[in-house]
Amino acid sequence: MFTDKDSFKKVFSESLIGELGRPLEEATGADVYKILSGLIREYAGKDWAATNQNYKLQQEKQVYYFSMEFLIGRLLGSNLLNLGILDMVREGLSELGWNLEEIEEQESDAGLGNGGLGRLAACFLDSLASRQYAGHGCGIRYKYGLFEQKIIDGDQVELPDYWLQKGNEWEVRRADKSVEVRFWGRVDTRYEEGRWVFETQDYEAVSAVPYDVPVIGYGHHHVNTLRLWSAESTMITRKNVASKHDDYYKFLSYNRSVESISEFLYPDDSQYEGKLLRLKQQYFLCSAGLQSILRTFEKLGLPYTSLPDKIALHINDTHPTLLIPELMRILIDEQQMSWDEAWDITNRTVSYTNHTTLSEALEKWPTSMVKDLLPRVFMIIEEIDRRFCSLLLAEDPSNTDRVSHMAILGNDQVRMAHLAIVGSYSVNGVAALHTEILKKREMKSFYDQFPERFNNKTNGITHRRWLIHANPKLKQLISSTIGDKWITEPTDLLRLQDYASDSGFQTQIHQIKQHNKINLAAYIEEKNGVKVDPNSIFDVQVKRLHGYKRQLLNVLHIIHLYHEIRENPSMDRVPRTFIFGAKAAPSYYLAKRVIKLINVVADVVNNDPLVNDKMKVVFLENYSVSLAEKIIPAADLSEQISTASKEASGTGNMKFMMNGALTIGTMDGANVEMHESLGDDNMFIFGLRSDEVLDYYQHGGYDARAIYHQDPRVQRVLEDLVQEGPFSSAHRDFALIYDSILNHNDEYFVLKDFDSYVSTQLQVEQTYLDRAAWLNKSIMNIAHAGRFASDFTIDQYASEIWRIRPVHELIMK
């Protein structure tokens, strides 16, 4: 197709003219993006086909990563990088008068996820392909991704994210591979030829149509598949309607209800939503994904007993847990297996990642909803529960409390986490601390029952997107200093330790950071109309807005600092720019008030000449993957200040570390492991430890009001939220925030950690004044970030959970 720059230019120009029917000069950036991305997908097509062919010939074990979210962001840049043609295409385009970075901006973010969980799935796909594993994604092709956030008068306003409007050049629709998914109906049970037969009648059929997106690995011509399912009405129904005209309106309404299944992503993070449509989405993904996987498996001509040797099904959180009863259903009803045989196969095929211990996020579906929507699947869940409970009872007949506590069905609910643990051979947490909390506290009874199932897999991020692509100047510097080995073996970054105190290297690191900060400052000025000083500390908190992430602690500190500087304008303070980005779930009112508060504080601070040269506050709207790629390389300080024990891992923390930001954080999630590598010298740790928090929850003893009365600083910033003054007035109602702290006893311990946060922030400032010391720490952060590369995480999943090896090793064998 093309092999060098000149042939690329030729092929590209011809495609562009051919497609547009107009001379090259008339092409817009959008035209160039469209043609280029289509061309690149075609370019990868040969490798894609070859990879699939190879899997088939080798009868390779395939991993399928089921996730309701894939927050992939833009693909053009990362695909060019992984194909090894980034520089060639950039130069070719440039000679034709186009700037690649500007063309990349034409791509809509595929925002098919809320935050960390969905981004993890995307990083894992990149690592699976780059490490040459046979691992694919299974998800939903939502017509609308996570909402687009606008800030209007300081408030979050949600707009639909119609990301497919301009088309999606990366996907291939595979109508021929459609499958049927069935809802509702009733189960007819009869005894026939020595076995029970279950047949669902009067169900509603939905057609699931797959759209395949190539997942291009780095450097090896290895291309896996992300299969995203879309819901459509079935042909049968359409034909039926054509013969019965009076049902036309019925058909239209059926059609609308079918299409709604893949219409939009639920915009909730860390909060469980018991909506019927969401349950439909989950089953739709599980049933469609599984049918197509089993169809491929059947082509191998092997008996179903070898399924666990050829296929691993992984569920990202409990959202795809229905995979377990659905696989049971197919094995029993369609493959005529016995319960025990089917259970053995299922239990050796499915593995599960837990992402949270927040009780409000644990999925529990009303029994009647599951029973009505999925009658046969529900019968199977009941039987799994019955057998599990009798096993528990047999072990300890007197302990009925334990049984009701661990049961899958209880209080008229289906407890999805229990079903996921009982039906999987592996249950993993996402950071060492999180896994320990699962084992010792939240899921202790399950750990006691199945100790061998529990294991830890600390999250990771792909350094290809978060360093090489997002921060090309840093990549250049690293490679010219320690060579290229780190690109395929990220732990080789450790060699940068030798340069941590090298003043020449420090200067180069500083210059790159300044360059990135100047770029971000320009973006901030363009978007928010605020001028910020690139020499100030860029202090950044970007992540979903949630109580436990404690953006509020950050804002209260800003208000406190504002008072200090105003009262003592000549005080020597290091100038800071506080940068926020965060979406709040549309129904999470308190979180939206915090967004408003940040914006109100920004407005006051940025327009007050008394403090203006020492501090600025900026809220960047619509936090997304592509915005993260702009912000993170420009950060000096990374805010990872969750209430200890609440953040399962965090991955934002790793992205900042890899780009040389220092972290101010609590001993929570993966911060603990970052600290293990970095030590106290290279990280700012403060606040309650997780055991202290958990003990407070268990035994009480925390009194937010007492702190309010003891600490005049706390009193003042809290009163600022409700008393008439610069931050508050009748129409800026922050009483809810105030109440959440003082009247609901501050469930996230904001006040408890306020003092240590403020003093640690002072330490940050002191350190920043000593440029060489700061840069030393910054380099140490980059050097130790390699262990948080998702390549490493994926290697562990592969060898310890899925039992697969990279394909090249198998071929050589």
Site for ligand PLP contains 314 (CB under 6 A): no
The set of residues, in sequence order, having a beta carbon less than 8 Å from that of 429 and lying 6+ positions away, is: 353, 354, 435, 436, 437, 438, 454, 456, 457, 648
Would you give the end-to-end CA distance of the chain in angstroms?
32
Nearer to ligand PLP, 466 or 757 (CB): 466
Size of the site for ligand PLP (CB under 6 A): 13
User: Which residue number, 506 or 671, has a Cβ lying nearer to ligand PLP?
Assistant: 671
Residue 543 a catalytic site member: yes
655 is catalytic: yes
225 versus 640: smaller Cβ distance to ligand PLP: 640
Known catalytic residue at 651: yes
Binding mask 541-560 for ligand PLP (x = CB under 6 A): --xx----------------
Question: How far apart are alpha carbons 94 and 106 in whole angstroms?
Answer: 16
> Does residue 625 touch ligand PLP according to CB under 6 A?
yes
Q: Minimum distance from CB of 672 to ligand PLP (Å)?
A: 14
Kindly give the residue spans of alpha helices, DSSP state H, lying in 568-703.
589-606, 625-631, 652-658, 671-678, 690-699
Residue from 32, 61, 62, 116 binding ligand PLP (CB under 6 A):
116
| Closest residue to ligand PLP: CB criterion | 652
518 Cβ neighbours under 8 A, 6+ residues apart: 534
Q: In the 8-state DSSP scheme, what is residue 659?
A: T
Decide: is 115 part of the binding site for ligand PLP (CB under 6 A): yes
Asked if 521 interacts with ligand PLP (CB under 6 A), we say no
Question: Contact with ligand PLP (CB under 6 A): which of 78, 237, 651, 761?
Answer: 651
Distance (Å, whole) CA 416 – CA 381? 10
34 is an active site residue: no
Greatest CA separation for the chain: 92
How far is the C-alpha of 662 from the C-alpha of 673, rounded, in Å? 14
Residue 434 in contact with ligand PLP, rule: CB under 6 A: no
Told to check if 119 binds ligand PLP by CB under 6 A, we report yes
Shortest Cβ 507–ligand PLP spacing (Å): 30
Sign of the torsion angle spanned by Cα atoms 185, 190, 193, 194: positive
User: Is 460 near ligand PLP (CB under 6 A)?
Assistant: no
CB of 118 to ligand PLP, least distance (A): 8
Site string for ligand PLP, 655-694 (x = CB under 6 A): x---------------------------------------
Which tokens hold the place of 567?
């009262």
Question: In angstroms, what CA-CA distances link 516 with 538, 574, 663?
Answer: 11, 20, 18
Of 313-321, 488-496, 519-527, 617-625, the segment contacting ligand PLP by CB under 6 A is 617-625
Written as six digits, the tokens of 274 are: 């018991």
- Using the contact rule CB under 6 A, the part of the chain among 507-515, 618-626, 659-667, 731-739 near ligand PLP is 618-626
Close Cβ partners of 546 (under 8 Å, ≥ 6 residues apart): 269, 270, 584, 588, 591
544 is a catalytic site residue: yes
Identify the burial level of 699 via C-beta atoms within 10 angstroms of its C-beta, where 0-12 means exposed, 13-18 middle and 19 or more buried: exposed
What is the smallest separation between the CB atom of 594 and ligand PLP, expressed in angstroms? 15
Question: Would you call 623 helix, strand, or coil by DSSP?
Answer: coil
Number of Cβ within a 10 Å radius of residue 666: 28
CB-count exposure of residue 47 (10 Å: 0-12, 13-18, 19+): middle
Query: Out of 346, 458, 624, 671, which residue is the one contacting ligand PLP (CB under 6 A)?
Result: 624
Side-chain-side CA neighbours of 694 within 13 Å: the count stands at: 17
786 lies in the site for ligand PLP, by CB under 6 A: no
Q: What residues are paired with 148 via a beta bridge?
A: 159
Between residues 270 and 776, which has the closer beta carbon with respect to ligand PLP? 270
CA 354 remoteness from chain centre:
13
| Residue 790 binding ligand PLP, by CB under 6 A | no
- For ligand PLP, give the closer residue by CB, 323 or 631: 631
Among 628, 683, 750, 780, binds ligand PLP (CB under 6 A): 628
Cβ pair 190, 196 in contact under 8 A: yes
Q: Which stretch binds ligand PLP (CB under 6 A): 3-11, 232-240, 384-392, 651-659?
A: 651-659
Residues that bind ligand PLP (CB under 6 A): 115-116, 119, 543-544, 623-625, 628, 650-652, 655
- Residues identified as active-site: 355, 543-544, 549, 651, 655
